[in-house]
Structure 1
Amino acid sequence: MAPGHDRPGRPAPDIPRRVGVNVRVDRDVCTGHGMCFMTAPEVFEDDEDGYGRARNDGVVDPGHEDEARGGAASCPERAVVFS
């Protein structure tokens, strides 16, 4: 595992199990690993600086909730926030 990827002090993301979720990537926490958009390209993309961001203004399309959860779980910085 690359340095900085093991974050034992950070809790696992709170990933809701419901339909109609919204997501965002906290730019203050994201360091640009790209795991969210590599894992869930239907939900996340990279911005002009290479940081992750949610597609569709953060609205997760019906049927892509599991992808959103997978993208969040893959983030080593826990930068994905659900609402």
Structure 2
Amino acid sequence: MRINVDRDICCGAGMCVLTAPDIFDQSEEDGLVVLLRQPEAAEADAAREATQLCPSGAISVADEED
């Protein structure tokens, strides 16, 4: 799994941070999403939930094949 964020369409709602705070943060300057790191396998569900809860669609998941 690979997470991608598009700060150009982020609205700063913060649902990603509330759902997966070890993966996402918000910039202090503009409140937009910041990807802290790619999720580990055990965090996949939380990362997918954050993607689904994002009101602007600024977060996407790409499944990587081994």
Does TM, normalized by the shorter one, top 0.5? yes
Equivalents in 2 of 1:73, 1:42: separation in Å? 17
Give the length in aligned residue pairs. 61
Question: Would you say 1:29 and 2:29 are equivalent positions?
Answer: no
Q: How does 1:55-74 map to 2 (within 5 A)?
A: 55-56=36-37, 59-74=38-53
Which residue of the partner structure matches residue 40 of structure 1? 20
Q: Secondary structure at the match of 2:41?
A: coil
Q: Which has the higher strand share?
A: 2
Which residue of the partner structure matches residue 53 of structure 1? 34
Identity %: 36
Cα-Cα RMSD: 1.2
Question: Is there any run of 5+ residues in structure 2 with no aligned partner, and where?
Answer: none
Which residue of the partner structure matches residue 11 of structure 1? none
Equivalents in 2 of 1:79, 1:28: separation in Å? 8
TM-score of the pair, normalised by structure 1: 0.65
Task: Give the greater-gyration-radius structure (CA).
Answer: 1
Question: Is there any run of 5+ residues in structure 1 with no aligned partner, and where?
Answer: 1-20
